Amino acid sequence: MSAITRYVLRQTLVVMLFVTLAFTAAIWLVQALRLIDLIVNHGLSTGLFLYLALLLLPRFIDAVLPVAVFIAVLFVYNKLTTESELVVMRAAGVSQIELARPALLAGGIAMVVLLSISAYFVPASNRAFKDLQFDIRNKLVSILLQEGTFNTISDSVTIYVRGRDSTGDLSGIVIYDSRDRAKPIMIVAERGAFVDTAQGPRLLLVKGSRQAYENDSNRLSVLTFDQYTLDLSLYRDAPGVRNRQPDELYLPQLLGQEPGQRPPSEDGRLIEFNLRLLNPLTALAFAAIPIACLLTGEFNRRGQAIRVLVAIMIGFFFEAVDFGLKNMLGRHLVMMVPLYINVLAPLAVAYWLLWARGPRESRGRGRVPA
Per DSSP, the residues of 229-243 read EEEGGGG--S-SSPP
- Cβ atoms of 138 and 153 within 8 Å: the answer is no
In this structure, are strands 200-214 and 219-231 parallel, antiparallel, or unpaired? antiparallel
pLDDT at site 370: 42
| Triad 179, 236, 54: Cα angle to 5° | 150
pLDDT at site 88: 86
Helices (H), the chain: 3-33, 36-40, 46-55, 57-82, 85-91, 96-116, 122-138, 141-144, 251-255, 266-294, 305-329, 336-351, 360-364
pLDDT at site 259: 52
Indicate the SS3 state at residue 209. strand
Strand order through the sheet with 200-214? 150-152, 157-164, 170-177, 185-197, 200-214, 219-231
307 vs 77: CA distance, rounded Å:
11
pLDDT at site 142: 55
pTM exceeds cut of 0.85: no
pLDDT at site 362: 44
pLDDT at site 105: 94
pLDDT < 70 regions, the chain: 35-45, 134-146, 153-154, 168, 196-201, 232-242, 256-265, 297-303, 356-370
pLDDT at site 361: 42
Amino acid at position 25, single letter = A
291 vs 42: CA distance, rounded Å:
51
Long-range contacts of the stretch 170-173 (C-beta < 8 A, 24+): 170/145, 170/194, 173/205, 173/208
Nearest to 12 by CA among 96, 89, 109: 109
Amino acid at position 337, single letter = V
57 vs 365: CA distance, rounded Å:
44
Indicate the SS3 state at residue 185. strand
Q: Where are the domains of the chain?
A: 3-138+245-364, 154-235
CA pseudo-torsion sign 202, 208, 214, 215:
negative
Nearest to 352 by CA among 100, 85, 43, 71: 100
- Cβ atoms of 114 and 173 within 8 Å: the answer is no
357 vs 363: CA distance, rounded Å:
10
Q: How far is CA 39 from the centre of its chain?
A: 22
